[in-house]
Chain A
C-alpha cells in the first residue's frame, strides 16, 4: 500500500518566523503529483501547493514553498513570514493514479 508519513503531529512557530513541515511518501507511480492541503478549524480542505514529480524545480506559492527530494521521497513544506491565519492542520498527499493518499497531518500553532 502506498503511504504518506508526516512525522510531526504538532509544530509551533512565532509570527513572522519560518517553519518547515516534513513529509515522506512511498509510491509505485513513475509520474505523480504531490500536494499540501490546509485544514483550518472551519474544516474546509484548502489546496496550498502542488508539485509535479517530473519537474525538478521546487514549487512556490507566495509564502509557501516546498523542498522536493525525489530520490529520498521527501516533500517538505516551508512557510515563511508565518501569520496567525496559517494556524491549521496541514496534510501532505501523494497521487495514487486515481486518488490522493493523505498523511495523518501536522497541527501548526502560530503564536504572536
Chain B
C-alpha cells in the first residue's frame, strides 16, 4: 500500500545547482501533479500530466521541468536552483476514468527543499 512516494524528503541546494525530485505511484492513476506549498500561501500547481507522454504547465511552472515516460513516474526537475524555489513540494495523483476528472487527489508526504 505505498500510494504516492516522493524522494528525497529533505534536500539543501546551493544557488545554481540542479536536482530532480522523484515521484512514483502504484495505484495506476492516470493524472499526476506537482504542487509547491509556501507558508501562508496554500498549494500552487507547478505542472500536471493527464497520462504518459502528456504534460502541461500549471500556475507556477517557471524554473521547473517535468517528464512522464511511464504511468507510474513523474519526476520534477529544478534547473539552476534559486532561493525563490525554497518550498515544500508535493506530488499527487488522481484516477480520472475516460479523462473525466473526478477531483480526489492522493498526495505524497512532501519534500522540503531549501536553496541557499
Q: Which residues of A contact B (CB under 8 A)?
A: 1, 4, 9, 32-33, 35, 42-45, 47, 50, 91, 95, 97-105
Instruction: Determine the distance from Cα of A91 to Cα of B31 in the docked complex, in whole angstroms.
Output: 21
Are A44 and B107 CB-contacts (below 8 A) given A91-B42, A98-B48, A99-B45? yes
Query: Nearest Cβ distance between residue A7 and chain B, in whole angstroms?
Result: 13
Are A50 and B104 CB-contacts (below 8 A) given A43-B109, A98-B48, A99-B58? yes
Q: Which of B35, B58, B88, B107 has the most CB of A within 10 A?
A: B107
The residues of B that contact A105 with a CB separation of less than 8 Å are 40, 42
Asked whether B90 is an interface residue with its Cβ less than 8 Å from the other chain, the reply is: yes
Tier of interface size on chain B: 20 to 34
Query: Nearest Cβ distance between residue B7 and chain A, in whole angstroms?
Result: 15
Residues in B90-115 with C-beta less than 8 Å from chain A: 90, 92, 101-105, 107, 109-110
Q: Which residues of B contact A (CB under 8 A)?
A: 31, 33, 35, 40-45, 48, 50, 58-59, 88, 90, 92, 101-105, 107, 109-110
A99 and B33 within 8 A (CB): yes
Label chain A's interface by main secondary structure: loop
| 9 chain-A/chain-B pairs, Cβ below 8 angstroms | A1-B59, A33-B102, A35-B103, A35-B104, A43-B109, A45-B92, A98-B31, A98-B101, A100-B105
Chain B residue nearest in CB terms to A98:
B101
Q: How many A-B residue pairs have CB under 8 A?
A: 53
Q: 4 closest pairs, A vs B, by CB?
A: A33-B103, A45-B107, A102-B42, A102-B43
The residues of B that contact A42 with a CB separation of less than 8 Å are 109
A100 and B103 within 8 A (CB): yes
The residues of A that contact B103 with a CB separation of less than 8 Å are 32-33, 35, 50, 95, 100
Query: Nearest Cβ distance between residue A47 and chain B, in whole angstroms?
Result: 6
Query: Nearest Cβ distance between residue B54 and chain A, in whole angstroms?
Result: 11
Instruction: Determine the distance from Cα of A50 to Cα of B102 in the docked complex, in whole angstroms.
Output: 11
